[in-house]
Structure 1
Amino acid sequence: MKAIVLAAGQGTRIRPLSASRPKPMLPVADRPLAAQTVDTAVDAGADEIVLVVGYEGQTVRDYFGAEYRGVPVSYAVQTEQAGTAHAVNAAREHIDGPFAVLNGDNLYDPAAIDRLFTECPAVCAAEVADPRNYGVLSTTDDTVIDIVEKPEEPPTNLANAGAYAFPADAKEWLEVPASERGEREITDVLARVIEQYAVTPVTLERWLDVGRPWELLEANEWKLAALERRIDGAVSDAAHLEGRVVVEEGATVEPGAVIEGPVLIRSGATVGPNAYVRGATLIGEDVSVGNGVEVKNSVLSRGTSVSHLSYVGDSVLGRDVNFGAGTNVANLRHDDADISVTVKGERVSTGRRKFGVVAGDGVKTGINTSLTPGLKLDTGAMTEPGETVEQDR
């Protein structure tokens, strides 16, 4: 079965992290988010991957190439962001039989995707506490009989998880009219399939739609928890490594460093001396963590430097960020309330008691900068030495 993976969106809700690369190419453990999805499809038996690209599409092409893990890779271009059915329709020339559709910015339970491919036609569902913001599936006798978008009174708690296995006929049903919100929805295609086929609901044990910065942190928490300890890099005898820790070849851990897994230290990175890295933390390629730095439950992207005597907690830092010495991230409110972050101009609760900052590519802080919880620092933003930053910039 061919797997169509949607990777064309701009990822506006996760900015500034997606300011210069597609959201599906943001790092989750040792590979981009989209590669986690493609790996799941390959493991489920996909015999070809079709990646639908658009925004910064060359980044996707450069990573996957013409073949990935021995499976051919093709590309389709979505020239405008006009909905999920529009995206899949961009790949119609590649469809010559049953096909699966997966979102390149979602993480799926691999066992469920295996079953999705086997049960075609099928749709993945997730049991959620409040399904009103989802497409909601109704079922009988293990068959989907209806889907309704964002109902005020949901008939079930089964949310559409955005993973589908369609029969070949569905290729002819992809050109759907625009919905009330102006998009061509893949759920309209699913509704047509439900009318003509017995569609199997496949319940996901775990599923994550990565749309906002703290969800990228959650994605890394999920995948880093599955690490198997491996030490290929240079680790000082005077360093202490505990639990699920991976130090890739070409990485260095200096004397006095304490690493408590799950932690992934990628090639070219340097940690220490006397640094403390814990939680679920990704230290990306060529990252520098300086003397006496503490990093907790965070993502540090490629080329970032956190200078000595700094603290970074529950944060996501983009590429080539430079935190000056003594930069401290606050990740907890005094009133113990959940941290909120600005998303597309509105303050949105992360649902997390602890969350630090989101720093876009190239952010620089002056020495002894203090950053308050829930801050977003845009691409290239700078702070002054000794400054306390309380508002996004």
Structure 2
Amino acid sequence: MSRPRRRALVLAAGFGRRLRPLTAALPKPLLPVAGRPLVAWTLDALVAAGCEGIALNLHHQGEAIAAALGTQHRGVPLHYSREPEILGTLGAVWPLRDFLGAADEVLIVNGDSLCRWPFRALAARHRRTGAAATLLVADRADPAAFGGGIALARDGRVLAFRSAALVTGLARRRRVFAGAQIWRPELLARVGEGYADTVEALYQPLLAAGEPLQTLATRRPWHDLGTPARYLAGALAWGLAGLPPGGVRRGPGATIARGARVRRSVLEAGAAVATGARVEGSLLLPGARVEAGARVTGAIVGPGIEVAPGTVVAGELLTAGPDGPPLATPLDSV
């Protein structure tokens, strides 16, 4: 039996509003994670899962994404779908219906999620159940932090989406959608032109019509990087994986001066910590500098930003100000 042809769409067009001002100049899919753009980790997993082609939809800072990623990833062609007006999670499929329709299985992945993606297991589950679509759900994420999650039956079938519909007495559990789904290609015929949301315009009508939607639960670490606090948590978890407690990851050219103290932090390429400075539980993006005697705790220091000598930064995102000092945004403000 021949292997199913598999193609994918990575949703990469979003504005990243909750991550502003960081995403004003840097699109969310290109946010650094352990020395690479966030989306590169997902592209790796899609290639490993046997995808023969991968599309990315583009809107906000779209040309920066295309320039960074190029025309192929590890030998697999990349196809870009440029959206002059943003089309939403379902509307993004319409311009790609011919590209995706050539496959036997269609993977759709959120570009702001980070996971050791179990794409092959998701596809196997999809084939076994014969569902119209199969969604990856995170076993360890708190549904209350993600709008109530998805209501599931004991066998993993989807019963309802979003909090308004979670009152059904049949629901045995709630889980959080982990940003990946696989479709039968027949679903492409249900997608219309224009802006549309996948849950509202596709999944809820499918449930109402009695069409089965299934899930695969994963206990692998999963991170939604849609807010500054979640970006910090995900970048640290990913970057420090495998290191001893208190370990530090340094990217190319990153430096820590003698007499500085750095713990449980990630320093991206070219970041620097000066003598007498203290950095803990923080992410220093490319070219960031923490000067002598400064204290940085539980924070993100944006690209090229300098933390002045003696400054104390705690629980904040530092980005370039309109003129003068860096702009400080509390991580928990979103």
Q: TM-score, normalised by structure 2?
A: 0.80
Label 1:218 to 1:370 Cα distance change in 2 as closer, same or farther (>3 A): closer
Task: Describe the superposition over 1:160-195 as per-residue Cα deviations: whole angstroms up to 9, x where unpaired.
Answer: 2231111112112223887xxxxx211232334554
Question: 1:47 Cα deviation (Å)?
Answer: 1.5
Take 1:382 and 1:284, find their aligned partners in 2: how far apart are those partners? 28
Q: Using a 3 Å threshold, how does the CA distance of structure 1 residues 19 and 359 change in structure 2: closer, same or farther?
A: farther
The aligned counterpart of 1:105 is 112
CA separation in 1, counterparts of 2:72 and 2:143? 40
Structure 2 residue 202 is matched with structure 1 residue 189: yes
Look up the equivalent residue of 1:367 and give its one-letter code: P
Match of 1:7 among 6, 12, 34: 12
Query: Relative to structure 1, is the Cα distance of residues 285 and 73 closer, same or farther in structure 2, using a 3 angstrom cutoff?
Result: same
**In the alignment, is the contact (CA less than 8 A) between 1:137 and 1:159 conserved in 2?**
no
For the 8 Å contact 2:319–2:328, the answer to whether it is kept is no
Mapped contact 1:369–1:383 kept (Cα < 8 A): no
Distance 2:249 2:240 in 1: 11
> Counterparts of 2:11 and 2:329 in 1: how far apart (Å)?
34
Task: Name the CA distance, whole Å, in 1 between partners of 2:125 and 2:76.
Answer: 22
Structure 1 residues 90 and 374, CA gap change in structure 2 (3 angstroms): farther
Q: Deviations over 1:119-175 (max 9, x none)?
A: 33311122344447144133354433x332223755331232231111112112223
**What do the CA deviations read for 1:338-387 (whole angstroms, capped 9, x no partner)?**
xxxxxxxxxxxxxxxxx2x222233223322222x222323157559xxx
* Contact 2:235-2:283 within 8 A present in 1 as well: no
Q: Which runs of 5+ in 2 are unaligned?
A: 1-5, 127-132
Query: Structure 1: how far apart are the matches of 2:228 and 2:194?
Result: 32
Residue type matched to 1:219 in 2?
A: G
Unaligned runs of 5+ in 1: 179-183, 228-243, 245-260, 263-277, 332-354
Which one of 352, 364, 378 corresponds to residue 306 of structure 2?
364
The residue number in structure 2 matching 1:250 is none
Shift, 1:102, TM fit: 0.4
**How has the CA–CA distance of structure 1 residues 137 and 308 changed in structure 2, closer, same or farther, with 3 Å as cutoff?**
same
Could you list the per-position Cα deviations for residues 70-102 of structure 1 after superposition, in whole angstroms to 9, with x for gaps in the alignment? 212111123334421123334334222331100
Amino acid at match of 1:123: L
Structure 1 residues 390 and 225: alpha-carbon distance in aligned structure 2, compared to 1, 3 A threshold: closer
Look up the match of 1:236. Answer: none
Q: In angstroms, what is the RMSD of aligned CA positions?
A: 2.9
Tell me the residue number matched to 1:92.
97
SS in 2 for 1:171: helix
- The equivalent residue for 1:318 is 285
| Contact 2:7–2:100 under 8 Å retained in 1 | yes
Q: Which deviates further from its counterpart, 188-197 or 62-71?
A: 188-197
* Structure 1 CA distance for aligned equivalents of residues 218 and 193 of structure 2: 27
Which residue of 2 is the match for residue 295 of structure 1?
262
CA contact (8 A) 1:304 1:322 kept: yes
- TM-score of the two chains, using structure 1 as the length reference: 0.69
The answer on 1:136 being equivalent to 2:150 is yes
Report deviation, 1:49.
1.0
Does residue 159 in structure 1 map to residue 126 in structure 2? no
1:375 maps to amino acid? E
Residues 321, 359 of structure 1: 8 Å contact kept: yes
Q: Aligned equivalents of 1:119 and 1:152: distance in 2?
A: 25
| 2:124 equivalent to 1:124 | no
Could you tell me how far apart the structure 1 residues matched to 2:154 and 2:205 are?
17
- Equivalent position amino acid for 1:170 in 2: L
